[in-house]
Amino acid sequence: MENETNYILAIESSCDDTSAAILRNTTVLSNVVASQKIHEQYGGVVPELASRAHQQNIVPVVDQALAKANIDKKQLSAIAFTRGPGLMGSLLVGTSFAKSLALGLGLPLIEVNHMQAHILAHFIQDTNMSPPKFPFLALTISGGHTQILKVSDYFKMEVLGQSLDDAVGEAFDKSAKVLGLPYPGGPLVDQYAQKGNPRAFEFPIPKVKDLNFSFSGLKTSILYFVQRKTKENPDFISENLVDICASIQYTIVTILMQKLKKSVKQTGINTIAIGGGVSANSGIRKALVNAEKDLGWTVHIPKFEYCTDNAAMIGIVGYLKFKKELFAEQNVTASARYSF
């Protein structure tokens, strides 16, 4: 099977992006993402609306992925889909669609863990990326997760630490909401932060045991800080937006880097691969590039389109499982709290 050409159709629908991709072995031929704008007006993802939008998007998105790759569905070797973790109503759409299509086309079905996919996205063949060497540490930072893992092989991963409450993406989004910024506020905080002074305001670094994280206290301290300052000056936010954003980002990046340094010390592994939507953040990217220079780490940062939710990362896991013939049965079900 090693030298064969295999085409994998991958489907991702765990949260608010409907995505389909076609991979030829480890190469991405297409990666179509339909993001749902509907949630912006609610300041967060509304699960019921997300599953409805997936229902509308899934057929056109899969059609587009096939068309862009110039592949007929008869050429497919297998269908991979996100089984979890994620929102149940959203996962059900992709899962049911993948199961039906695999049954209809008589193809093997491959179930994929979304968080594992964020990590294995590094193994997509791309001129701008080189895969990390095992063992490495993975930092997965998204709107739903904050984890540090030791990755010994493709499917041998051990969680060393994780958030005990909010995910780091939520910390960005909730802080942005306090500042009156629209959802999702993470990328906006990043944009403003690049123009501000990171030392302008000081927010507390939480004391959390081992390699775990906590972000809920940070959000509360930002809320109280902003309330107190706006009482003194109603224009405080607008007059200081870039400095507030820079200070928030600085605090979050400091928290992440402190734990990463601790995990490098603890494991003796200094190859780091990041994944998840927050990997797009300029502050964390800069801090990691500096760690390469100053601490001798080897850092792997995925291409932007493979950082946020996408089906290409589901496809690479699909391909790796296809080679090992790790197929799912037709009675496989979506799993909102799927862990590995």
Closest contact distance (angstroms) between CB of 118 and Zn ion is 6
Q: Indicate the residue among 32 and 102 with the shorter CB distance to ligand KG4.
A: 32
Q: Rounded to whole angstroms, how far apart are CA atoms 283 and 159?
A: 24
- Residue selected from 13, 18, 82, 142 as contacting Zn ion according to rule CB under 5 A: 142
Radius of gyration of the chain measured on its C-alpha atoms: 20
Asked if residue 110 lies in contact with residue 327, where contact means CB atoms within 8 angstroms, the answer is yes
Q: Indicate the residue among 160 and 189 with the shorter CB distance to ligand KG4.
A: 189
Count, residues in the chain? 340
Q: Indicate the residue among 108 and 276 with the shorter CB distance to ligand KG4.
A: 276
Near ligand KG4 by CB under 6 A, which window of 136-144, 205-213, 229-237, 325-333?
136-144
Asked if residue 274 lies in contact with residue 288, where contact means CB atoms within 8 angstroms, the answer is yes
Residue 144 binding ligand KG4, by CB under 6 A: yes
Closest contact distance (angstroms) between CB of 114 and Zn ion is 6
Within 83-197, where are the H helices?
88-105, 114-120, 168-178, 186-193
Range list of β-strands (E), the chain = 7-12, 17-24, 27-35, 78-84, 109-113, 136-141, 146-153, 156-162, 271-275, 298-300
Residue written as token pair 């193994």 = 123
Q: Indicate the residue among 84 and 196 with the shorter CB distance to Zn ion.
A: 84
Near ligand KG4 by CB under 6 A, which window of 146-154, 220-228, 276-284, 328-336?
276-284
Q: Indicate the residue among 90 and 142 with the shorter CB distance to Zn ion.
A: 142
Residue 309 binding ligand KG4, by CB under 6 A: yes
Q: Which amino acid is at 81?
A: F
Near ligand KG4 by CB under 6 A, which window of 180-188, 197-205, 221-229, 266-274?
180-188
Residue 309 binding Zn ion, by CB under 5 A: yes
Q: Rounded to whole angstroms, how far apart are CA atoms 241 and 304?
A: 26
Query: Which residues contribute to the site for Zn ion (CB under 5 A)?
Result: 142, 309
Query: Which residues contribute to the site for ligand KG4 (CB under 6 A)?
Result: 15, 142-144, 169, 172-173, 184, 186-187, 190, 276-278, 280-281, 308-309
